[in-house]
Amino acid sequence: MENLKNKTAVITGGNSGIGYATAKQLKEQGANVIITGRRKEAIEKAALELGVTAITADQSNISDIEKLATQVKADFGSVDILFINAGIAGLGTIEQTTEELYDNIMNVNLKGAFFTLSKFIPILKDGASVVFLSSNTASMPGPGSSVYSASKTALNSFMRSAALELAPRKIRVNSVSPGPTQTEVMNKVGLDETTVKGIMDVVVEKVPLKQMGRAEDVAKMVSYLSSDAGVFMTGADVIMDGGMSLG
């Protein structure tokens, strides 16, 4: 199935998890894929494994984003698919949240995502697809996740504005909101397998379908939204959480 043949796709935060799975999926469908990330070694290693292009760029840094757009324009001309995926999580009650934690989350998840779209608009092809990685916490806030949830709620809000602004050029803008997804983040925090399994069991209890999401499932949805199948979808937030937000 090469239904994205010769399309140029840019994925921010592409060296692991959902970004990595999406790069793999789009590449398999024939797209030319560029992944970005702030850690040069990690992003180059991932690109080598995937057979895609790596460009080092930190989504929280506006001048990095500008350089990224300039380089993509120079090397590829224009972009058909933009997946704004880079994001960070952080937990803390409102009382405990430091200014640093607040700024870190907002700078990547909201400001960085906003300006990534902003700087890429001039090089998006008419009819292009933009997808933001949001989260089901945007519609179901929990204690300790105020800043993270707010960053994703705000992201969905400007996704809808962008859908209206870019509609005259037939550029579609959507977001995908996964629930708990099996990615390497938990292992990276240095938790052992038993602890990770314990956390997953607790989480799975809250999911009506009684399973965790998979990065591959999210990748397929991004691919769907960016293909001819999703040609009439814009301004939509697709919740993929096994029914969790229904509770």
> From the CA atom positions of the chain, what is the Rg in Å?
17
Evaluate whether residue 47 is within a structural domain.
yes
Closest CA to 79 of 113, 128, 24: 128
- In this predicted structure, the answer to whether residue 140 has a pLDDT above a threshold of 70 is yes
- Tokens at 232, concatenated: 């009439």
Q: Which residues are catalytic?
A: 148
Q: Are 92 and 144 in contact (CB under 8 A)?
A: yes
- In this predicted structure, the answer to whether residue 138 has a pLDDT above a threshold of 80 is yes
Evaluate whether residue 245 is within a structural domain.
no
Single-letter amino acid code for the residue at 20 = Y
**Helix, strand, coil in percent for the chain, rounding step 5:** 50, 20, 30
Q: How far apart are CA 129 and CA 241, in angstroms?
A: 22
The phi and psi torsions of 126 (rounded to 5 degrees) equal: -60, 135
Residue 237 DSSP SS3: strand
Q: Write the CB contacts of 79 (distance below 8 Å, at least 6 apart in sequence).
A: 8, 9, 10, 72, 120, 123, 124, 125, 128
Span 4-33, average pLDDT: 96
Tens-place pLDDT, residues 214-247:
999 999 999 999 999 999 999 999 999 999 999 7
Evaluate whether residue 34 is within a structural domain.
yes
pLDDT at 27: 97
What band does 189 get if pLDDT is binned at 50, 70 and 90?
A: low
Given its phi and psi angles, is residue 69 left (phi above 0), alpha (psi -120 to 50 degrees) or beta? alpha
- In this predicted structure, the answer to whether residue 143 has a pLDDT above a threshold of 70 is yes
| Sole residue written with tokens 């001039």 | 122
pLDDT at 42: 95
Domain of 171: which CATH number?
3.40.50.720
Evaluate whether residue 42 is within a structural domain.
yes
Note down the domain range covering 216: 8-240
Tens-place pLDDT, residues 145-161:
999 999 999 999 999 99
How many domains, in total, are found in the chain? Answer: 1
Tens-place pLDDT, residues 19-66:
999 999 999 999 999 999 999 999 999 999 999 999 999 999 999 999
Evaluate whether residue 1 is within a structural domain.
no
pLDDT at 184: 60
Evaluate whether residue 247 is within a structural domain.
no
pLDDT at 185: 58
